[in-house]
Structure formats: structure tokens, C-alpha cells
Amino acid sequence: MQKSRCPKLSIIASLLLSTTAGLSAQAAPGITWKLAFLKWGAKDFVAMPFSRPLAMTDGDKFQVRIQDVNTPAYCYVLYNSADGKVASLFQSSLQPSKALSLPSEKESFQVSPPDGAEKIFVIVTAERQAPLEKLLQSPDNVQAILDEVARIRQSTSSLGEAPEKPAPIGGVTRGRNSSVQATEYDGQSSYVKTIRIEH
């Protein structure tokens, strides 16, 4: 083992290198994207705020609309029902500036029994989540899927995330173009957003 002639300089150099490496890792471009929860009203879908649980009743119709704005990304949308089951509503890539409506632009989901608390997890990441995809092949393993969603959530820091802000999002509603208010997210390379429904 060779001794350094200037240990203080060696320590400073190694600190600079580690700081530079950390900065370059953080400098990876984040994803800018939009999310909207739309409930069917009298004549059209209406955007609903989803920062708190949404009170809905059996028969209510809704859509989830996602738009990736600045870069291709991977998206996973999971439904956790009131009776504890998990289903994948979507798992694929998103393309810049193209809106995704779930279940489709002309269809909607409908709230149905059993009553209770339901969750929709929207996961948007710069990298494919292979462990999650593998778990989703066997949806009966609910706890493992929920644990993986929690792991993805915990692996991201909110320090680099810009504050949520309202933004328009486009789409087609009942055969015509429409624009509704969505929530825009920016600054991170991985997101887990939860929409809670109580009925």
C-alpha cells in the first residue's frame, strides 16, 4: 500500500469527485407529465381534484387521463379494489405530448360494489420497472405488488420535484376534442401518485 504525500489533498480530491458524481446523477432530466381524474357529469367529463379521497357512488363513471410531456417514459396504472384485489389497468410506454385516456377516449370505468375504499396507483418512471412487471404476471400476490409500489415510492426523493400546478390536458370526449384541467408534475425521474375513491 502506497502512502499519499498530501493526505489533505487526497481527501479533498475524493470529496470533489464524489460530489461531482452525485451532481451528474441528479442532473439526469426529470419527467414533466400531467394527470387528471375525470368524472362524468350531466353532459361531459369534469376534472376532479384528487389530493383527497373522492366520494363517489355506485354507477358513477370516470376516466383517468395521463399525458407525458417532455420525454418518453414508462407508465403503470394499477387498481386496488375495495375487496383487496389488484389489477393492472395499463403498463406500457408513454410518448411525448400524446394523451392516454383509460379505459379509452370513448369509454369509462364505473364504480360498482362492494362499497369501501379503492385506490388507483399511477406510476410514471424514466426506467422500466421489471420487478413490478414480473409481480403483475401473478396478480394474486397482492401484498408483494403493494410492497413493490411502496418501494418505488420510497426510492424517490421529493426534494427535486417542482410544486404541483394546474395545467390543461387534451383529449377526445364523446367524439369531440376537449381540454380539461390536470395536475402537472415536474422535476423527478420517478413518480407514484395515488387516487383514492370512497363509496
User: Quick count: other Cβ atoms within 10 Å of Cβ 148?
Assistant: 19
Q: What percent of the chain has pLDDT over 70?
A: 74
Cα separation, 76 vs 131, whole angstroms: 12
Residue 160 in any domain: the answer is yes
What are the respective helix, strand and coil percentages of the chain, to the nearest 5?
A: 20, 45, 35
Domain with 72, as residue range(s), is 29-198
- 99 pLDDT band, cuts 50/70/90, is confident
Bridge partners, residue 171, by sequence? 178
> Residue 4 has what pLDDT?
42
Bridge partners, residue 45, by sequence? 40
Residue 2 in any domain: the answer is no
C-alpha cell at 195: 387516487
Residue 115 in any domain: the answer is yes
Residue 75 in any domain: the answer is yes
Cis-peptide, bond into residue 114, ω within 30° of zero = yes
Residue 104 in any domain: the answer is yes
Residue 19 in any domain: the answer is no
- In angstroms, the Cα distances linking 121 to 3, 26, 75, 163, 179 are 54, 25, 10, 20, 23
Residue 156 in any domain: the answer is yes
> Residue 165 has what pLDDT?
60
**What pTM does this model have?**
0.79
Q: How many domains does the chain fold into?
A: 1
Residue 7 in any domain: the answer is no
Cα separation, 174 vs 156, whole angstroms: 37
The whole-number average pLDDT for the span 105-122 is: 94
Q: What percent of the chain has pLDDT over 90?
A: 58
C-alpha cell at 143: 401484498
